[in-house]
Amino acid sequence: MKPCAMRFNGFTWHHNPKELTIKCKDKMVKYGVPYFKEFVERSYNEAMVVSGVGELYGESCLEQYEKLEQLYKDGKCGILCLPSLRPFYACFEKLSVEASTKPSVLTYSFTFTQIKVKEDAVLLLPSVVLEKDCSLFEVSSAYDISIEKLVKLNENIMFINELKKGTVIRLC
């Protein structure tokens, strides 16, 4: 499966970031059971922090940045889709312009922080419009919903392996 373009709240990056760092805070938890040994286990219950550096190209790079900046200023949280990762609920925490020595290139940095919510509440979007032809399995994987649940929600779908671009898929 081809990695997705980075997306957040209706904005799709024309070029994925050139640098992407994902930090997952973890903590050590000590367990003790009466009459048995204690043991220590790593717990990954903290939120991920995604930061990176990207470049916007061409004559419209300033216009692209202004759209990104408006998204940041809106302050809304939403589903963040990153290349090779499952989408998750996040908030846009930081956005800044970096110095650029190239003409028609705008370099920027950003930070998103994952918001932990109950599993059923992760998908706040009631539906999604497919951007390309795909299968229900790909939708299931991208949005972390079982195929069975998607089939129940989308009884109108006749062929789960042949979904066309523009098809509306109910997610909840």
pLDDT at residue 120, as a whole number: 39
Q: Determine the structural domain holding residue 51 and report its residue range.
A: 1-118
Is the same domain home to 113 and 132? no
C-alpha distances in angstroms, 78 versus 3, 6, 86? 20, 13, 14
Is the same domain home to 62 and 92? yes
- Residue from 118, 114, 116, 141 nearest 22 by CA: 114
- Domain count along the chain: 2
Is the same domain home to 85 and 134? no
Q: Report which secondary-structure segment, H or E, holds 136.
A: helix 136-143
- Is the confidence at residue 43, as pLDDT, over 50? yes
Is the same domain home to 13 and 80? yes
CA distance 15 to 32: 49
Task: Kindly report the CATH number assigned to the domain that includes residue 21.
Answer: 2.40.30.200
Is the same domain home to 129 and 114? no
Mean pLDDT of 56-75: 90
Is the same domain home to 150 and 111? no
Pick the more confident residue, 55 or 158: 55
Is the same domain home to 64 and 18? yes
Q: How far apart are the first and last CA of the chain?
A: 24
Task: Kindly report the CATH number assigned to the domain that includes residue 163.
Answer: 3.10.350.10
